A and B are shown apart, each in its own frame.
Chain A
């Protein structure tokens, strides 16, 4: 009886990022083509790996794959890319697509045992929420070693004999880490912002305005406060809940907007309108800041839920009240 063997297939890659790779990362950060920024799952060879070379596991989100390989200059290694549907390691691990099952499948599909003599795979530590190391070993024979959180520590990790320091094992949320996540937050608000401007324009046409330049920059400012300023200043803003932090800065912004318009001294900027801004603008910032929990590295589901149970009703009531006041203000003037 003839036993047909499956073809052994590897894909060559390098540690060098091209201009196109870098541009792709930049675009993804701005939300352009972020959901189609993929590489094919499979076994990649970097340098000239042999049967003793380490096997590094990654996700098929191109930014994950690129940030791994660019740290491997001068190394010979295998990169086993799992099919995570184009999602990064940490998020995919949370969903389970970067998981025990997919790792076992991928090891079997690429026939990893035919490429390496050892029985170890290095999985990024942030993949651990999806992987059960003892189960992988039980079903495949491969031992999972958790590598450092950051790919840039990989070389040192290997040099230390596959040992990570506590420093390498801890997730940080540096100013830069938060900063690179803000563009996508901002872009995410564009669609809803355009709808709001559309509604205000219609109200103007119906004679319920005038909504003008003050409303425009008041709103845009509140969005920037919630999406950019609050995330950047996060650890320095007093309090713990994200919505609170956003609200606080938004409140300061609302006061600034009112003062810039002569507070209540100027007749067109009445007390009702000023109060309306104080109710609406901080709520917008609070909501957007609350959404940044998803980009942070230290918020728990239970915590976010607790925060939202207070914040969401408060935000809705505050915005409704504010809108009523501003509309009432227009009617009084009519």
Chain B
């Protein structure tokens, strides 16, 4: 059964004029978000994107933009409390759920 999350929230953007169709994004995406169409990568289903940032990081042509972040409520709460960027850093004694 497919797990689905909120619609129309992901910050993923593809600048197709920069895409060379190398297919790296298809390779690294863990959720099968991209599709190769007319030798360019296109976004097939943006709602599957979890903003891990693998595609943007591995695009040698800067054709992909996404605000990389952790989809972890505990990290976001800790970020609010400590005034820092939320990150996947469950320290030993604070419990929490990530990793």
Q: Which B42-79 residues sit within 8 Å CB-CB of chain A?
A: 48-54, 57-58, 60, 67-77
- Would you call the interface of chain B mostly helix, strand, loop, or mixed? loop
Q: How many A-B contacts at CB < 8 Å in the complex?
A: 168
* B80, chain A: closest CB distance, angstroms: 9
Report Cα–Cα, A171/B3, bound state, in Å.
11
Of the candidates A146, A187, A298, the one having the most CB atoms from chain B within 10 angstroms of its own CB is A298
Establish whether residues B28 and A300, one from each chain, have CB atoms under 8 Å apart when the complex forms. no
Question: Which of chain A's residues has its CB closest to B12's CB?
Answer: A300
Interface residue B82 (Cβ < 8 Å from any Cβ of A): no
B95 within 8 A of A: yes
Q: How far is the CB of B46 from chain A (nearest CB, A)?
A: 10
Instruction: Give the total of A residues in contact with B, Cβ under 8 Å.
Output: 64
Are B95 and A188 in contact, with the CB atoms below 8 A?
Answer: yes
* Cα distance, A234 to B3, chains bound together (Å): 8
Judged by a CB distance under 8 angstroms, whether B98 is at the interface is yes
* Number of interface residues, chain B, beta carbon within 8 A: 50
Write the nearest CB–CB distance from B32 to chain A, whole angstroms.
Answer: 5
Using known A-B contacts A125-B28, A131-B58, A189-B95, determine if residue A296 contacts B76 with beta carbons closer than 8 Å: no
Residues of chain B with a CB closer than 8 A to A173's CB: 3
Q: Residues of A contacting B24 with CB < 8 Å?
A: 133
CA distance A134 to B87 in the complex (A): 25
CA separation between A11 and B46, bound complex, in Å?
43
11 A-B interface contacts by CB (under 8 A):
A31-B95, A134-B58, A146-B27, A171-B31, A291-B97, A297-B3, A297-B30, A298-B48, A300-B71, A301-B51, A302-B67
Chain A positions near chain B (C-beta within 8 angstroms): 31, 34-36, 87-88, 90-95, 125-126, 128-134, 146, 149, 164, 166, 169-171, 173, 181, 184-185, 187-192, 234-236, 240-242, 290-308, 312
